[in-house]
Amino acid sequence: MQYRPLGRTGVSVTSFSLGTMLFGGAVDEADAARQLDLALDAGVNSIDTANVYGRGASEELLGRLLQKAGRRDRIVLASKFHCAMNDDDPNAAGSSRRHIVDQCEASLRRLGVDHLDIYYVHRPTTRVPIDETLRALDDLVRSGKIRYIGTSSFAAWQLLESLWAAKEHHLNRTVVEQTPYSLLDRRVERELLPMASSYGIGITVWSPLAGGLLTGKYGRGASPSGVRLARGGKGDWDVKHFGDRVDPVVDAIVDIAAGKGCTPAQLSLAWLLAQPAVSSVVLGARTADQLTEQLAATDVMLDDEDLARIDAITPPGRAVVPYYLDDAYADFRPHLHHW
């Protein structure tokens, strides 16, 4: 497993991180234990969770497994806050000082650890000044409860605003951004990735397989059962993923993968690993077999000809399935009519 720098922190993370969004839900304790052992034995040193995954269930299960594994000291452990933890309490969500401090303490208890290596602002917001959020996070850094501050799904301007506020108020700054990035949405290449590179910010990636589309199981009009997405479904997630341009792109990726002797998922992940701005890609497998397949993407080598063929199918800076920026303006849109 290759080690990569996490921005300019001096910390090294493996090219793949173990994602635990499904732990305690679709992935039960036995399967979660198999995935954790598999990842650690493969050399993975980065694990990603969030308070909202199962509303604490993922962190609780991961905490139990980490205690059994006994390898916490080698792990770069990340969690997140922002999303609602209680539908009946408006203060149990967001990026206020109150919520940040409460949720950090709760995450530490559930995980059974005394600190988090990375604590991510799970989504941007315009409802709380970024300096209030950063000041609360700065206090947590100074108290030793978190080591580094991260953001997730921030637009380039929001990330830059956080850097400006940190400098203005002499606070610990954001050092890593976790962003949606895949062959089906490359818009982060326009501004976010160049900006992050310029300011020494690490990039971790969520949804690298675009909700499973890039596994190829939906290729050529297929509509498999028992999966996350439904072709023809009416939900926002379903509608987003099945546009007119999706099938031809996915089919072309499947064909390239067949020519390389790998799976479409492995090709898609290998392509991300070939991007110099990427520090680590978060893998969120449902089964140990899926995780084994995905980890093997490190063996797939892409040459200039391969990368050029992929660029011709999904041009740089373009999107077939939109992820990036969907959340960056989510709570801003309702207020636009006031301007």
Parallel/antiparallel/unpaired status of strands 116-121 and 76-81: parallel
267 closest CA partner among 213, 318, 228: 213
CATH of 3-212+264-301+320-338 given 3.20.20.150, 3.20.20.140, 3.40.228.10, 3.20.20.100? 3.20.20.100
Q: Name every residue whose Cβ is closer than 8 Å to that of residue 140 and which is 6 or more positions away in sequence.
A: 100, 101, 104, 119, 146
**Alpha-helical segments (H) within 42-145:** 57-69, 97-111, 130-142
pTM, rounded to two decimals: 0.94
**pLDDT beyond 70 at 335:** no
Q: Residue 166 burial (CB < 10 Å; 0-12/13-18/19+)?
A: buried
pLDDT band at 236 (very low <50, low <70, confident <90, very high): confident
- Mean pLDDT on 268-279: 97
Q: What is the pLDDT of residue 239?
A: 76
Q: How far apart are the first and last CA of the chain?
A: 50
Contact 19, 273 (CB under 8 A): no
pLDDT band at 71 (very low <50, low <70, confident <90, very high): confident
**pLDDT beyond 70 at 92:** yes
**What ranges make up the beta strands (E) of 88-222?**
116-121, 146-152, 174-180, 202-206
Q: Could you give the CA distance from residue 314 to residue 326 in angstroms, rounded to a whole number?
A: 19
Q: Could you give the CA distance from residue 297 to residue 264 in angstroms, rounded to a whole number?
A: 10
Contact 215, 265 (CB under 8 A): yes
Q: What is the pLDDT of residue 78?
A: 98
pLDDT digits (tens, 9 = 90+) for 36-59: 999 999 999 999 999 999 999 999
Q: What is the pLDDT of residue 223?
A: 67
* DSSP category for residue 278: E
CB atoms within 10 A of CB 217: 16
Contact 88, 117 (CB under 8 A): no
Q: Could you give the CA distance from residue 176 to residue 4 in angstroms, rounded to a whole number?
A: 13
**pLDDT beyond 60 at 305:** yes
* DSSP category for residue 4: E
Give me the phi and psi of 310, to 5 degrees please. Answer: -65, -40
pLDDT band at 339 (very low <50, low <70, confident <90, very high): very low
Angle between helices 246-260 and 264-273 (to 10 degrees): 90
72 or 271, which is more confident?
Answer: 271
Contact 17, 48 (CB under 8 A): yes
pLDDT band at 322 (very low <50, low <70, confident <90, very high): confident
pLDDT band at 328 (very low <50, low <70, confident <90, very high): low
Query: Annotated catalytic sites, by residue?
Result: 53
Q: What is the pLDDT of residue 336?
A: 40
pLDDT digits (tens, 9 = 90+) for 247-260: 999 999 999 999 99
Mean pLDDT of the chain: 92
CA distances from 58 to 23, 101, 248 (A): 5, 19, 36
pLDDT digits (tens, 9 = 90+) for 197-224: 999 999 999 999 999 999 988 876 666 6
What ranges do the domains of the chain cover?
3-212+264-301+320-338
